[in-house]
Every structure is written in C-alpha cells, then in structure tokens.
C-alpha cells in the first residue's frame, strides 16, 4: 500500500525517503546504490524498501462509496 513511516524492526523514520528512492529506481538506477544514497544503512530498513509493493493505485478505485 503506502510505505510505513517507521521501520518495523528498529523504529527508524524512513517514510520521507521513499519518494527519492522510488524516483531513482524509475530512472533505472541500481537499488543498492539508491539505498546508500538516501542513507539507509541498516538491513532492516533496507528490507522495508526492497520488499515494498506499491498497491495504492490498484486499491483506490474500490474505496469510493457507491451511489445506489
């Protein structure tokens, strides 16, 4: 869905780094290189970014209330 604000394991704030990381990946840069560039050194925080699947665009159409 949406990237969590904090790492589930260590509690480090990571939510503000997602957009910069995501844009770099879309530009074709290496994931490891981008993780280092945004400042994620801990493997638990890196896991949050590498394993994240962006589903908000797929789920959003179903959140609208229906008019009957």
**How high is the pLDDT of residue 45?**
94
Model pTM? 0.76
Residue 68: band (very low, low, confident or very high) from pLDDT cuts 50, 70, 90? low
CATH code of residue 51: 1.10.10.60
Residue 49 lies in a domain: yes
For residue 50, tell me if it sits in a domain.
yes
- Tokens for 62, please give them: 């179903």
Decide which of 2 and 68 is more confident.
2
Residue 4 lies in a domain: no
pLDDT per residue over 3-55, tens digit each?
Answer: 899 999 999 999 999 999 999 999 999 999 999 999 999 999 999 999 988 88
In a domain, 5, yes or no: no
Q: Domains in the chain: how many in total?
A: 1
Give domain status of residue 10, yes or no: no
For residue 1, being part of any structural domain is answered with no
Q: For tokens 């290496």, name the residue.
A: 30
Contact (CB, 8 A) for 2 and 14 = no
Residue 40 structural domain: 15-63
């Amino acid at each position: 869905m949406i990237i969590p604000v904090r790492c589930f394991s260590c509690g480090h704030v990571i939510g503000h780094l997602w957009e910069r990381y995501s844009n770099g990946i879309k530009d074709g840069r290496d994931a490891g290189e981008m993780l280092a560039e945004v400042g994620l050194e801990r493997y638990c925080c890196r896991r949050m970014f590498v394993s994240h699947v962006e589903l908000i665009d797929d789920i959003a159409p179903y959140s609208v209330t229906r008019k009957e």
